[in-house]
Structure 1
Amino acid sequence: MKFRILLFLFCLTSLKTLASDNKFITVRDTTSTISKDTTNTDSMMIYWTEKNTFGVNLSEVAFVNWNSGGNNSVSALFYANFQRNFEKDYTIWKNSASLRYGINAQEGREIRKTEDELRLNSSFGFRQDSTSNWYYSGKFSFNSQFSNGYKYPDTEVAISRFMAPGYTFLGAGTEFSHPEEDLTVYLSPITFKSTFVLDQRLANEGMFGVEPAVTDELGNILKEGENVRTEFGFLVTSGFSKEVWENIDVNNQVSLYSDYLNKFGNVDVDWQLSVNMQVNDFVKANVGTHIRYDDDVKFKEDTNGDGKLETSGPRIQLKQMLGVGIVYDF
């Protein structure tokens, strides 16, 4: 009888111990799995960063019995910016897209375009170690416009269109990226620049640097103008952004390009400087300038008053911007 009691107690103790051990193992494995999944999720969040911005700047002037005179007008600028950046260990990949379109409606005349831009950028870089600020880098960029451009008030003959011109840059070099300041400097001794003029009339006229059409003495076209011009040259770009005062940011972007094969030392300039002031989370004001110079871009104007546009040489292009509007970031 005593032996049976002792055997019964031993069995109960063994079952309890076994159950406790199994419970411990199950809890331990589950905890390990959850921890692993969380680590992977956090890593993916660190590798990729994104930013989306949508905005509109509006201005309006209306007159009623205003003895100083003036025309009622409404202006609007719509813009969007997208960024997708990847960074892991010694590798960095930056992508951005910028879309801008502005219009002006004034009493007594047709709607006119005030701004038009389509710009895409992508750069990939690799550095040797975590302490270096220099990357072996490759860059691609594309820019053009959405709709026809005119020499107002003439709206019959377009002086530019989508992909007339369109520009692409593709090259390789080295890039310096400051670890604390938002500063980058890119040097590329190997850059291919392609200029597209897909409107045949503009291509025949030799606009934007492409080879013009070959004609006879009567003006009949013997050979159509080229639609693509390719250059090989040296590219330097720099970007800098900094908060100079509370809620006031300065952004500076410069691009300098010179062709090795055609007038080396003649530099194409694309320089944008803007000051952004944040009123609150949704209302922002900005003022900026955009300067361009391209030796291949010829301008048209009526120089002798005969109503026809004559082609003249290159000029410095200047645009000034001032706006207050609503911006949504996410």
Structure 2
Amino acid sequence: MKKLLAMGLTLGLFLTASAQETETDSIPNGWKTDGNIQLLFNQSAFNAEWTGGGTSSIAGNLNLNYDFNYKMDDFTWDNKILANYGLTKVKGDDFARKTSDRFELNSVAGKEINNSNFYYSWFLNFRTQFAKGYEFSEDAETGETIRTETTHAFSPAYLQTGPGIMWKKGDDFMVNLAPATARFIFVDKAFTSGPEYMDGDYFGVDAGEGMRFEFGASLTALAAFDIVENVRMENSINLYSNYLDKPGNVDIDYLMNLQMGINEFLSANLLFQAIYDDNAVGAFQIREVFGVGFNYKL
């Protein structure tokens, strides 16, 4: 908990300093929506005479970033949907493989405290994936690729919710600290059954169970700003400490989205994500996606 509070204080000071450089947004009452869809492509090709080495491949990523926010006087309700799905196909490989697969909904409602930038808040975060995930291996006798299903939609799925205190300055700077957060991890019981399964092997869920309950503290923060004209960076981070089991092992989910506009319909995009979840893997999971593609503003 002390680590989480220290991280929250440091991040809050950073966001406050950043926000002080901009004017406070004058947000009118009512609904405000904003978002975009991006289709990114990556491709490489080599002919038979190419001597430098390399394998032809093609990859695509579909990204959705959509905000729908509501304000009425001293009450705000901010919602964000983040979704992405990507595949890559390498020449000679039997299967196309996922490069990204994520659906996330963030929602936080706040009641302003005494005309300040602080709010009483309640937040909800939901995360899962769209399609099946596999581990790949090779048949020792035939050399054929074997894929074993390890995940699918809603297995796992994460739900966090709880009350807290939010600091907010406009739509682009926010920190929410929720010291009494309920967290649920949902999985398919098919993955936790069988004589070979041990408690906690599958995203921390016990043998034969389909859900794990945790209770702890959560910190969520957002910082978005324009670096130069047509180049915008969005940063979001979620920290979670489970009071009931190893509270010192703080789960981290950081996402950076760098959008570089070329024109109204073409853009370059860089995604970087770092996840630490002791229930899944006791190490950082790193994902990076870069591509050029089509952009459609919602």
- Please indicate the TM-score interval, normalised by the length of the shorter structure: 0.7 to 0.9
**1:155 offset after TM fit, Å?**
4.6
Q: Is the 8 A contact 2:102 2:129 kept in 1?
A: yes
Q: List, as ranges, runs of 4+ consecutive aligned residues in structure 1 with deviation greater than 6 Å.
A: none
User: Residue 11 of structure 2 corresponds to which residue in structure 1?
Assistant: none
**1:198 offset after TM fit, Å?**
1.4
User: Residue 119 of structure 1 corresponds to which residue in structure 2?
Assistant: 104
User: In 2, distance between residues paired with 1:123 and 1:234?
Assistant: 15
Could you list the runs of 5+ residues in structure 1 that have no partner in the other structure?
Answer: 1-44, 213-224, 299-313
User: Residue 20 of structure 2 corresponds to which residue in structure 1?
Assistant: none
User: In 1, distance between residues paired with 2:113 and 2:175?
Assistant: 18
Larger-Rg structure: 1
**1:182 offset after TM fit, Å?**
2.0
Would you say 1:95 and 2:79 are equivalent positions? yes
Amino acid at match of 1:196: F
User: Residue 120 of structure 2 corresponds to which residue in structure 1?
Assistant: 136
Query: Matched residue of 1:152: which SS?
Result: strand
**1:75 offset after TM fit, Å?**
0.5
Would you say 1:211 and 2:245 are equivalent positions? no
Query: Matched residue of 2:246: which SS?
Result: coil
User: In 1, distance between residues paired with 2:181 and 2:90?
Assistant: 43
**1:201 offset after TM fit, Å?**
2.5
Q: Is the 8 A contact 1:95 1:121 kept in 2?
A: yes
Q: Deviations over 1:190-240 (max 9, x none)?
A: 10010011142246533000112xxxxxxxxxxxx2110000000111110
**1:46 offset after TM fit, Å?**
4.4
The two structures have a TM-score, normalised by structure 1, of 0.74
Would you say 1:325 and 2:293 are equivalent positions? yes
Cα distance change, pair 155–144 in 1 and its aligned pair in 2 (3 A): farther
User: In 2, distance between residues paired with 1:254 and 1:317?
Assistant: 14
Would you say 1:63 and 2:46 are equivalent positions? yes
Cα distance change, pair 155–178 in 1 and its aligned pair in 2 (3 A): farther
Would you say 1:185 and 2:175 are equivalent positions? yes
Q: What is the number of equivalent residue pairs in this alignment?
A: 257
User: In 2, distance between residues paired with 1:84 and 1:289?
Assistant: 24
Q: Is the 8 A contact 1:161 1:199 kept in 2?
A: no
User: Residue 51 of structure 1 corresponds to which residue in structure 2?
Assistant: 34
Would you say 1:195 and 2:178 are equivalent positions? no
Query: Matched residue of 2:203: which SS?
Result: helix
User: In 2, distance between residues paired with 1:209 and 1:269?
Assistant: 16
User: Pairwise mapping of residues 196-275 of structure 1 onto structure 2 (< 5 A)?
Assistant: 196-202=186-192, 205=197, 206-212=201-207, 225-275=208-258
Q: Deviations over 1:247-306 (max 9, x none)?
A: 1112111111001111122100111123221111111112232111111114xxxxxxxx
Higher strand share: 2
User: In 2, distance between residues paired with 1:91 and 1:253?
Assistant: 22
Q: Deviations over 1:2-58 (max 9, x none)?
A: xxxxxxxxxxxxxxxxxxxxxxxxxxxxxxxxxxxxxxxxxxx84111123111001
**1:152 offset after TM fit, Å?**
2.6
CA RMSD of aligned residues (A): 1.7
The two structures have a TM-score, normalised by structure 2, of 0.81
Q: Is the 8 A contact 1:277 1:284 kept in 2?
A: yes
User: In 1, distance between residues paired with 2:223 and 2:193?
Assistant: 36
User: In 2, distance between residues paired with 1:281 and 1:150?
Assistant: 37
Query: Matched residue of 1:263: which SS?
Result: coil
Amino acid at match of 1:228: M
User: In 1, distance between residues paired with 2:237 and 2:45?
Assistant: 38
Query: Matched residue of 1:209: which SS?
Result: coil
Would you say 1:161 and 2:152 are equivalent positions? yes
Could you list the runs of 5+ residues in structure 2 that have no partner in the other structure?
Answer: 1-27, 138-144
Higher helix share: 1
User: In 2, distance between residues paired with 1:85 and 1:262?
Assistant: 35
User: In 1, distance between residues paired with 2:193 and 2:109?
Assistant: 33
User: In 2, distance between residues paired with 1:51 and 1:163?
Assistant: 27
**1:102 offset after TM fit, Å?**
0.3
